[in-house]
Amino acid sequence: MGQTLSAAVQPEGATATYKWKRADTSDGSYSDIASATGVSYELTAEDEGKYIKVEATGTGKYNGIVLSSATAAVTAAG
């Protein structure tokens, strides 16, 4: 697959930890993707046909949890 998704938090200078998640449908039950905890996530063959979200948890003086909207269904680049 090789495409990379990236997360961004606001305001500038805020810090967060990340958990990337996948599901079979856009409004389905999302499961954590093992070892996908960085600001970026490189799509794999396992993601094809799935929907991806990222959960950001604020750290330091910024706290709270935000879940992104889902991507469109992942397709193989062609």
39-75 pLDDT per residue, tens: 999 999 999 999 999 999 998 888 899 999 999 999 9
Q: Find the distance separating the first CA and the last CA of the chain, reported in whole Å.
A: 10
Q: Among all chains, which residue has been given the structure tokens 């998640």? A: 21
Domain contains 77: no
Domain contains 73: no
Domain contains 78: no
Domain span at residue 35 reads 4-67
Q: What is the pTM for the complete model shown?
A: 0.89
Domain contains 21: yes
For residue range 5-20, list pLDDT tens digits in order: 999 888 888 899 999 9
Domain contains 26: yes
Q: Closest by alpha carbon to 73, among 29, 24, 17, 1? A: 24
State both tokens at 58.
Answer: 């604020």
Strand partners, 18: 56
Strand partners, 67: 55
The domain total for the chain is 1
Whether the CA torsion 15, 20, 25, 30 is positive or negative: it is negative
Domain contains 8: yes
3-state class of 51 per DSSP?
A: strand
